Amino acid sequence: MRIINNRYIIDKMIRKDQVEETYTIKDSWSKDAIYHMRMLDSNKDKETIEYYLEEFIQIAQIKHKNLLSSNDFGIVETINLKKTDNTKYYVVSEYTDWTLLKIQDVTKDLKHRLHLLLDIISLIDYLHFRGITYRVLCPSHIFYSKEKGIKLMNLSVSLTKPITSFNDGFDENFLAPEVLMNNSDFELNSDKYSIGMIIKYLLHDCPLSDSGDHYTYIEDLNLSSTQKEFFDDIINDLTKSMPANRKLSLREIINDIIRVFNLNYSYDLVRERDTLFFNTPIVGLNREINEILATDWKIGKDINYYKGIVIRGGSGLGKTKLLQEASFRLRMRCRTVYNINCSKVFNKQNITKFFNKITEKTPDNVIAKYKDDLSSLIALMTDDYDNYQLNDRLRFFNRISNFFNEISKDNKFYIIIEDFEKTNSIFIQFFDFLIRNIDKNQIFFLLSYNEISRKSDEVSETIYNLAKNLYITFIDLKPLSLDDTGRYIKDVLGIPFIPYNFVTSIYNESKGIPGYISLIIKDLYDREQLYVGENGLWEIRNTDRLKLNIPSNINDALLNQLKRYEDSYLEVIKYLSIFNIKTIKEVILDMVDFDEKKLDAILKDLVKERFLEESIGDLGYYYSLTSEELKRYLYLNMPEDMKLEFHAKAADI
C-alpha cells in the first residue's frame, strides 16, 4: 500500500504505461469514497501542469450531476512519508465504474435515450453559462449506467487531452472541424456540433454513414414523420461546418424535445446556477506573483540580494490571497514552505505546531542538538517574556539562527508570515535577529503587513530599519482597475459576461478593493438585488448606481448579511469574536445554549457563507472568523457586561 502526501491511499492501479499512469485511491480525509488519481510527469505533461496552475481552481468549482468532478491538483511531496526523488504531480477526480457509452448497450427505448440526450444537452448548456466549451464531447468521454444515466468525463481531462491522443477515427466523427484542426480559438458553438452527432448516434440506424438533410432513424424507436423532421432540422443546424452558422439555442432544443415528445423531464435552472464563487483565481496580482517567482529563480541561482519581501497594503486588498497563491506556486516548484499567522498564532499549542512542522523533515541528530533551545524559545514567545533577561533572549535567538542555517544547507525553504503588524514584541525581536543572521539565499521570508493596523511602533520601526539596511524589499498592493474589477465579478458569478454599468457601479463604490467588492456582491445577493432568474441567467433588479442601495462601508455590508440569520447564528459569531486564536468546536459547544446537532448545522452554514474559516487540527475541527473587520467591529460594539460574561464562560472551560 502506498500513501501519497500522507493523505491519498493507493487502492488499485488502473493503467501504467508510456501514455498515462492512473489509480483508484481513497482519501483519508473522507469516509469510504473511491476517487480517481492521474499522475503527471513534469517533462511529458508540462503544458497540462502549466494549465492547471492557472485554471484548476476554476475547474474544481464546476459541479453538475452529469459531470465527473475535478477535486484536487498538487505535487507529490511524499510517498509513505518519505520525500520523493522525482518531480511528479497528481490530479484527483470523481471515480465511476460505469462503462463508456456504447450504443449496443443502450436499451432501445425512445424515452430512455431522449432522457440521456437531455442530460447531455443540459450539462453543455450549463457549461456555456459558465463560459466553457466541452471540446471533446464523444462516446469515449461519456460514462453510462442503464439505471442511473450518464456522466461526462471531468473537465481536468477533457480540457487538456490532446486531440492527437484519440487512437482511432471513431471519436473524431463527433468532433467539430475546428476542434480537429486543433484550433485554439474554440467557440461555445464547437460542442454544439458534437451534440448533433450524439443525436445521430442515439437515434439513427447508421449514425456515422448518414449524410444529406434527411436521415434514417432506428425503426424500433417508432418516431413519427413529424418527429423525424424535427430532429433532422436540429441535426442539420448543429452540424454545419462553420461555427457561426450553428444558431439553435440549447435551452430551446431542450424545451422543444420535452414538448414534442411529451416528456416528464424536469430541471431547475435557479437551483443549478444560483451560486457565488469566492474562491477565485488571483485577479490583478499577476505582476506581484511573477516578481515573487522571479525572486525564487534568483535564489536558485544564488544571485538574490534580499532576505525577504514585505507585501504592504490596507485591509481587503488581497494580501492573504497573494500569499496563498505564492505558497501554492512555490510548492508546485518543489519548494518547502512554512506558514505562520501572527493574528492567531501566539498560544503555546499553535506556535509549537509551527515549529513541529519545521522539525518534521529535520534529521534526528539535529533535533537532539537544538531540542532544549526550541522548547525555551516557545516558552519565551508564549509566556511572560519580561522574565527573561536580554542576554538569555539573544542566546536563544542565536541558537535558533544556527538551527535554521543548519537545516537549510541541504533544503532551502520559505517562511510566510501573515499579519506581521499584529505580532508581539518578542516575535518582532526574534524575527529581526533571525533575518539579520541567516545565510542569504537559504531561507527567504514573505510577510504581509498593514501599517494602519499595527499594534505598536516597534513593528513599523523594525520594518523600516530592515528595509534601510537592504534586508527586505516591498511589494505594494493597489486597488483593482475597472477592467480587473469586471474580471473579478465575472469569476464570483461564474459567468463570461457582466453588464458594464453594473461593473462601474461596483467599482465606484468599492474603489476597487477586492474584499469590499466581495462584500457588496454578497450583500446584493442576500437582499435579492442580484439573483438568478427563471431563465437561468443572473439578473440585476436595478443597474442605476443610485438605486442599488450599496452599503456605504464594509461594516454595513457585513451587518446587512447578518440580519437574515436567527439569533443563534449571531450568538456563535459573537462568541468567536472574543478569541484571538482558532477555537475548537467543543469550546464553542460549551459556551452556547443549544445541542451539538444544531451547532453543527450553524457552523456548516457559516462556513459555506464565508463568515467562518474551518480547519482541521490535532484536537478536531477549529473555527475562526474569516473577516478581521467583522471580528473587530462586533467586539468593539459589544456591551461591556456581555464581554465580561463571554470571557468568564471562556475562562471556565
Condensed to tens digits (0 to 9), the pLDDT of residues 403-430 reads: 999 888 888 899 999 999 988 888 888 8
Pairwise pLDDT comparison (628 vs 64), residue with the higher score: 64
Looking at the predicted structure, is the pLDDT value of residue 388 above 70? no
Measured CA to CA, the distance from residue 577 to residue 237 in angstroms comes to: 59
Do residues 420 and 312 lie in contact, with contact meaning Cβ atoms separated by under 8 Å? no
DSSP element (H, E) containing 438: none
What per-residue string of b and e applies to 311-326 under the rule 16 or more CB within 10 Å gives b? bbbebbbbbbbbbebb
Closest CA to 581 of 394, 395, 347: 347
* Arithmetic mean of pLDDT, 109-127: 96
Q: Quick check: 138 and 194 in contact, CB under 8 A?
A: yes
- Tell which wins on pLDDT, 651 or 201: 201
pLDDT for res 546: 38
Q: How confident is the model at residue 35 (pLDDT cuts 50, 70, 90)?
A: very high
Q: Tens digits of per-residue pLDDT, 287-346? A: 999 999 999 999 989 898 899 999 999 988 999 999 999 999 999 999 999 988 887 545
**75-89, 207-221, 519-533, range with the lowest pLDDT:** 207-221
pLDDT of res. 549: 55
Tens digits of residue pLDDT in 249-284:
999 999 999 999 999 998 899 999 999 998 889 999
Q: Which CATH architecture has domain 100-267?
A: Orthogonal Bundle (1.10)
Confidence (pLDDT) at 29: 83
Q: Is 100-267's fold the same as 286-476's?
A: no
Q: How confident is the model at residue 590 (pLDDT cuts 50, 70, 90)?
A: confident
Select the CATH number that applies to the domain covering 565-652 from these four: 1.10.10.10, 3.90.45.10, 3.40.1190.10, 3.30.420.40: 1.10.10.10
Residue 623 or residue 111, greater confidence? 111
CA 612 to chain centre: 16
Residue 543 has pLDDT above 60, yes or no: no
Residue 587 has pLDDT above 80, yes or no: yes
Instruction: State the average pLDDT for the chain.
Output: 86
| For the chain, percent of residues with pLDDT exceeding 90 | 46
> Which residues share a beta bridge with 416?
339, 446
Phi, psi (deg, nearest 5) at residue 574: -65, -40
CA 604 to chain centre: 18
- Say if residues 457 and 252 touch (Cβ distance below 8 Å): no
Query: For residue 548, is pLDDT > 70?
Result: no
Residues 233-248 have pLDDT tens digits of 999 999 998 988 999 9
Please indicate whether residue 124 or residue 397 has the higher confidence score (pLDDT). 124
Top-confidence residue, 531 or 568: 531
Tens digit of pLDDT for each residue in 458-473?
Answer: 999 999 999 999 999 9
Provide the 3-class DSSP secondary structure of residue 40: strand
3-state secondary structure of 155: helix
User: Distance of CA 420 to CAs 8, 336, 363, 448, 570, Å?
Assistant: 34, 20, 30, 6, 29
Using the predicted structure, report yes or no on whether residue 575 has a pLDDT greater than 90: no
Q: What are 619-642's pLDDT values in tens digits?
A: 667 888 877 667 777 777 788 888
With a cut of 70, say whether residue 183 has pLDDT above it.
no
Grid coordinates representing 620 are 478536531
According to the model, what pLDDT value does residue 84 have? 83
CATH 3.30.465.10 is right for the domain spanning 286-476: no
- State mean pLDDT over 95-101: 94
For residue 369, with 0-12 CB atoms within 10 Å meaning exposed, 13-18 middle and 19 or more buried, which class applies? Answer: middle
pLDDT of residue 440: 83
Task: Tell me the residue ranges of DSSP E strands in 383-434.
Answer: 413-418
Q: What is the domain partition of the chain in residue ranges?
A: 3-94, 100-267, 286-476, 482-552, 565-652
Q: Is the pLDDT of residue 497 over 90?
A: no
Q: What pLDDT, on the 0 to 100 scale, is given for residue 603?
A: 87
CATH of region 3-94, choose from 3.40.50.150, 3.40.50.970, 3.30.200.20, 3.40.50.1470: 3.30.200.20
Mean pLDDT value of segment 373-386: 71
Share of the chain above pLDDT 70, in %: 90
